[in-house]
Structure 1
């Protein structure tokens, strides 16, 4: 997600929205951090810092992947304030409003260190090279796949295989549909500039949700018997659905909690270590309702929905499946990265 730009056009998570038709821009900085360092950025413990917002679904993918794979000690985490100003993501949650590792007040400083006067939005997730202070990549699509496949030497013992090679073709197919109609679809609906544009996007969202509900009715996870990258990408939209997309983005044919299969599936993942313990509902609601002034000009943050249901039984274990395959759950959340009580059910 990126910062507001002006009163007519705003950017959000590699998106542009406002009075112009909705458009999601490509990641400009697409360097990869790889085991062999072929792009000039080798995998190296302690060298990089992952900058995120807990409000952003695209950044949340990276936070969940990092936690499931046990990369916390190898890749430090910078958490931005969910509410931006005209200088974009800011580190006002840290003492003196400055990231303690990078020494910067705004993520845009890392962008400027890489490319001065970069004209596009400042988005998260962003991986920054600590020694130089330069942005390495903001490629939200590729970064988690590389965590799973290029950072294996730094994975924790018992880390799951989130992108198993025999299933990659099916995972890619599922993720493409989820991205088009759900991850990106809610934004297309929420930032639509005309009735027909909105209705088309909204229909796409719910047609895909119904297909996903059918797919998940007899299987615990989207592809195979374990959690994969596909589940992470769907989860980060579903966990925000009732809190922001249903009302704020007008995706209101039904609530997530009104679909028994999708609601149980999302609760199952939420209650799985590495998923719910990264979700901050307070950050999510503050960002969407206070930053998207084109949709919510008064910045009023709704009190609801009630969060109590997230911890109720889901019974999905009756479908079988093994969340971590032959691996194990991640350990406790590292000190300083815990979601505060205000963000939990």
Structure 2
């Protein structure tokens, strides 16, 4: 569906203003990692939670500094503050609605948002009430986006936490809400020491119910984590997956890398986040460019927009500036994301045909 790379349009190096207008798709983005700083300050005050600072700009800077520690564990620890304000109906409704509006303002036309309902129960909500409330907020955001002329479709991934034992419950939730906006499942949290195979019961249930799932793998742990996610658990996509390069030597693909490329298993890559957690050394040398050139189905994502201080426009701009990406490359990863989205084929196809490809044609004018 994409134009061949020999097309002259593919060689355009778009500027930031052009990139901001391009239609985008994001598959890997955490709801609790993308709050507006001002909203976090306001909601924290309402529930009596103490933040590192109550100045929104200073708070955003605090998050960015913590995220740049190079330590995945410290990176994850910053979520203490966002989760503290996402324990009530009011907090969940607002953060979900604003999440969608922020995507729309960034030119995103399709997004998948993920979060762990089990981490949002301290205010007395039940697991189903958490999901219902988030879906209500997302629906409100989509309605406002459409009314403003910036429509965006958002699907939800429910996350089980890999260090806890509630993943089967969360898988049951994903099945129960599959016709109410939940499009899939994931496991999240500290990767090293918490293998995906610990949650085989959840994955077997999801496969039996035909619910797709992705697994965080190959970020803080290496090739065995990716292999287990694919061959033991049956993941349809891989979250991050940067360590797949351990299976590529002098351009020759090992068995796992070959399996991923040949079966078009999408890699949900997050350059800024990977750099901050130590999974990559620089944007210029991030594996996404090498893997793109080797024919992998790479997708571009934000991971956590507040924590990483980023947007899809920023991620795209960094690859253009630091890694020599072109308009054609940006279109390719956008189409890749939609091809691998957890929504029906005809809906994916319509977004590619009617929204993305025309939008990238306009980017050359």
Give TM class, smaller chain: 0.3 to 0.5
TM-score after normalising by structure 1 = 0.34
Higher helix share: 2
Higher relative contact order (CA 8 A, sep 6+): 2
What TM-score does the superposition give when structure 2 sets the normalisation length? 0.32
Instruction: From the two aligned structures, give the one with the greater strand fraction.
Output: 2
